[in-house]
Amino acid sequence: MNYDLEKYPMKPDVVAFLEKVQTSYPPHSEAGSIEEGRRSYEVMCTYFDTPIPDGIDIRDDVVEGREGPIPIRLYIPRDPSSDTTVIYYHGGGFAIGNLDTHNTICADMASETNLRVVAVDYRLTPEHRFPAHFHDAIDAFAALDEGRTIVCGDSAGGTLAAAICADRHCSEQQPIGQVLIYAFLGGVIMGLPSYEEASHAPLLTTQDVHYFEDLRSAGNPSNDNPTYFPLVQEDFSGFPPCAAFAAEFDPIRDDSVEYVNRLQDAGVQAECTVEKGLVHGYLRGRYMSLDAGNSFQRICNAIRNFGAEN
Catalytic residues: 155, 250, 280
DSSP state letters, 159-222: HHHHHHHHHTTT-SS--SEEEEES---SGGGTT-THHHHTTT-SS--HHHHHHHHHHHHTT---
Check: CB of residue 156 under 8 Å from CB of residue 94: yes
Q: Going by C-beta distance under 8 Å and a sequence separation of 6 or more, which residues neighbour residue 12? A: none
Residue pair 151/117 in contact by the 8 Å Cβ criterion = no
3-state DSSP assignment of residue 119: strand
Q: What is the distance in angstroms between the CA of the first residue and the CA of the last residue of the chain?
A: 49
Helix (H, G, I), strand (E, B) or coil at 70: strand
**What values do phi and psi take at 27, rounded to 5?**
-65, -30
Find how far residue 115's CA is from the centre of its chain. Answer: 18
